[in-house]
Structure 1
Amino acid sequence: MEIDLKRDLPTYEQQRDFYEKLRLRISDFLSTKSGKKSKLAPYLLFAPDLFHLLIKAMLDNRIDIKSKTLIGSGILYFISPIDLLPEGLIGPGGFIDDIIVATFIINMLLNKFSPEIIEKHWVGDMKLLDALKKISETSNTLLGKIPARSLLSRFIKKSTKNA
């Protein structure tokens, strides 16, 4: 299978539609009985906001190509139907691994660039740094619940050593 890397990014309307559909899907899940009982509920609505931030950061000309490669990897992880916790099989709870990967990438960007550059692209209800802190504080607990956690943990450790 060949991937066309020269293809244009989706239009602003298509990106907005994806963001709104993702947010609506997660909100609908959270309004169900099982969604209300989910311990992951406070984190799931970060998924569309983190995805939006990655897309906007990809278009920011102040961010270098090497960092955009990392950002692109995060975007691909979000949209790929094959990941550690596939949303198609387990529903919105499958976004937890996407949230963890996006948080890792955004933390890497914050270590390299001024927070103002990254925060400019944040559309979440909570301040970006507060949201990342909340996710980071519980990521070890969340990683412990992921069946393939050792694989993800190794990826995160290896990536932080190479950064």
Structure 2
Amino acid sequence: MTNDQLTQPLPSGQEQNDFYQKLREQIRHWAENKGMASKVLPYVMLAPDMFHLMMKLAMDDRIDGKSKALVGSGILYFFLPLDFLPEFLLGPGGFLDDVVVAAFILNTILNNYPKEILEEHWAGEDDLLDTLQNLVESGNKLVSKIPAGGLAKRFLKSDDQNDNKTSGTA
């Protein structure tokens, strides 16, 4: 993601709503064609709800600017035409990487804010905390299945090690 992409204003409320509705419809149609048999389907179906939650957090006055920038980067990731799993090549199955990115961002926000703020904006059917915990636990498995998974795992591992070094634990 370039600095230019990170400094662009968020899409308007109508554009966000249109994207949310369009995304839900795309995934619903894809799921019907897949016969609900895909192993990744439960994760992909979370994409619209996670996108919606990040949009709401980006507009919530209780969230500080640094956290909003992080959330904004997750929102922009959904719009990137070329990412780890491009939607234009894979259809809605390409949202799997977007869900993993969103889960890590939302987990970071959850570590810094009361869960009630996130739950207030959560539109998903399942419990938010359970959903995030399952996604974060499954993240390594999911990341290993994407084309650049090995590289992503190394990045995530080295990032964790850097966090441990800066916090004084190793």
Match of 2:125 in 1: 125
Report the TM-score when normalising by structure 2.
Answer: 0.85
Match of 2:112 in 1: 112
Match of 2:15 in 1: 14
Cα 1:73–1:159 change in 2 (3 A) is farther
What SS is found at the alignment partner of 1:37? coil
Match of 1:5 in 2: 7
What SS is found at the alignment partner of 2:36? helix
How many residues are matched?
Answer: 161
Give the Cα–Cα distance (whole angstroms) in 2 for the partners of residues 16 and 67 of structure 1: 22
Cα 1:4–1:133 change in 2 (3 A) is closer
Match of 1:84 in 2: 84
- Structure 1, gaps ≥5 residues long: none
Cα deviation for residue 6 of structure 1 reads 6.0
Identity of aligned residues (%): 48
Report the residue type matching 2:94 in the other structure.
G
Report the residue type matching 2:139 in the other structure.
S
Deviations 1:49-86 (A, max 9, x none): 00111111111111111111111111111111111110
Give yes or no for contact 1:35–1:41 (8 Å, CA) kept in 2: no
- Structure 2, gaps ≥5 residues long: none
Give yes or no for contact 2:50–2:99 (8 Å, CA) kept in 1: yes
Cα 1:74–1:158 change in 2 (3 A) is farther
Give yes or no for contact 2:77–2:98 (8 Å, CA) kept in 1: yes
Cα 1:52–1:26 change in 2 (3 A) is same
Report the TM-score when normalising by structure 1.
Answer: 0.88
Give the Cα–Cα distance (whole angstroms) in 2 for the partners of residues 110 and 43 of structure 1: 19
Map 1:28-107 to 2 at 5 A: 28-32=29-33, 34=34, 36-107=36-107
Give the Cα–Cα distance (whole angstroms) in 1 for the partners of residues 158 and 105 of structure 2: 13
Give yes or no for contact 2:49–2:123 (8 Å, CA) kept in 1: yes
Report the residue type matching 2:30 in the other structure.
F
Give yes or no for contact 1:58–1:72 (8 Å, CA) kept in 2: yes
Give the Cα–Cα distance (whole angstroms) in 2 for the partners of residues 3 and 133 of structure 1: 29
- Aligned Cα RMSD in Å? 2.2
